[in-house]
Amino acid sequence: MRFKILASLLTVISLAAISLSAAQLQGRGASFPGPVYKAWIQEYNAKTGEKVNYTPTGSGDGIKSIKKRMVDFAGSDKPLKPKKLKKFKLYMFPAVIGSIVLAYNIPGVKDGELKLSQEAIAGIFSGKISYWDDKAVTSQNSGLNLPHKKITVAVRADKSGTTYNFTYYLSKLDSKTFKPSKKPNWKANIIAGKSNSGVSANIEQTKYSIGYIEYSYKQELGLNAAQIQNKEGEYILPTLKSFQDAAKYAKWTPDNDFYALIAYPDGKTSYPIVAATFILLAKEKSDTNKKVTKFFDFCYKSGDKIATDLGYVPLPDQTKEMIRKYWEQKGIK
């Protein structure tokens, strides 16, 4: 009997050891970079044998998890200001740049055919424009058959960095109506879903809907996305080139832990809604942090093609070098 109990205990211990080794690093948070993190993790494991697990639960959950030290690293599309980082004893650095597209489901309107002015976008998401044949929409789309159908606006149900960056952009269009927020009180006719995948699914399943999602989710599901009027008044399609043109205007410095919001950039060819996504680390976990930065250093060196293939914009080489020096300064490289 004792031998059976001992054997059972050894089995439990063995399974626990396997479970621990199966995910050497645990991360969670922003769903915005979920697809590229998944691909990077697969490549890292294939090349090094090292295990990383990342769960795309949303930026709000990521921030909460790292504050409570529930994970080894967290992802957030909302950068934390230096005061917040100091308060919660965190380090922060950017990982990659992505874009937010306005995906729609309007029968008969193909990908890229719909043009949305700044006035139309602000009106739709404020609820002031509630039908597709509103003059503010049809005036830029004379060749399209836009019906008198009520607009359903697909938004996030969870606290979201994607939402924060999108509402930051909206605040540039109409500062009286919109304020940057991870979970705003929408006035439009909404349908809410968790994470980028949830919003994408709602758009796919709901006729006459429109919503904001990260570009790679649009690509994966084959959703249609609008041309958006940028800061210079030009209508820009969501393409890797227009994202890259926008990303050039990002200004990074390690002096403030790389805090920057880059939505609504300058430039005639710039796509107007771009955002960086960030990694948060607990200051006291030096040994674990070195494993995390080792992974992201691998991604910086070997993951650019993976990122661009998925529609993300890799960080400039100059920014990557600044981040490496930041790691060295903090003793986590």
pLDDT tens figures, 66-89: 999 999 999 999 999 999 999 999
Confidence at residue 30, expressed as pLDDT on a 0 to 100 scale = 94
Tens of pLDDT, residue by residue over 233-260, are 999 999 999 999 999 988 899 999 999 9
CA distances from 39 to 42, 94, 113, 233, 280 (A): 5, 17, 31, 35, 20
Tell me the pLDDT band of 304, cut-offs 50, 70 and 90: very high
CATH class of 25-97+249-330: alpha beta
Residue 239's Cα: distance from chain center in Å?
Answer: 16
Query: C-alpha 143: how far from its chain's center?
Result: 33
- pTM for the predicted model, two decimal places: 0.85
Pairing of the two strands 235-236 and 52-55:
unpaired
State the virtual CA torsion across 274, 279, 283, 288 in degrees, nearest 10.
Answer: -170
Which pLDDT score, from 0 to 100, does residue 23 have? 53
Task: Reduce the DSSP state of residue 18 to 3 states and report it.
Answer: helix
Mean pLDDT of 112-139: 98
Asked if residue 320 has pLDDT above 50, the reply is yes
pLDDT at 6 > cutoff 60? no
Going by pLDDT thresholds of 50, 70 and 90, the confidence category of residue 19 is very low
Q: What is the pLDDT of residues 255-281, one digit of tens each?
A: 999 999 888 999 999 999 999 999 999
For residue 18, what pLDDT is reported? Answer: 39
Residue 15 has pLDDT above 70, yes or no: no
> Quick one: which of 119, 221, 112, 110 has its CA closest to 170?
119
Give the rounded percent of residues in the chain with a pLDDT score beyond 70.
Answer: 93
**∠ Cα 146 147 150 (to 5°):** 115
Question: What would the mean pLDDT of 98-121 be, rounded to a whole number?
Answer: 97
At residue 333, does pLDDT exceed 90?
yes
Q: Would the CATH topology of 25-97+249-330 be identical to that of 100-243? A: yes
Q: What pLDDT score does 220 carry? A: 92
Nearest to 72 by CA among 319, 293, 244, 224: 293
Kindly state which CATH superfamily the domain 100-243 is placed in. Periplasmic binding protein-like II (3.40.190.10)
Q: Given a cut of 90, is residue 53 above it in pLDDT?
A: yes
- pLDDT for residue 263: 85
pLDDT over 50 (residue 204): yes
Average pLDDT of the residues in 157-183: 95
The per-residue pLDDT for 5 is: 41
Q: How far apart are CA 122 and CA 305, in angstroms?
A: 35
> How many CB atoms neighbour CB 90 within 10 A?
19
Residue 188 has pLDDT above 50, yes or no: yes
For the chain, give every domain's residue range.
Answer: 25-97+249-330, 100-243
Mean pLDDT of the chain: 92
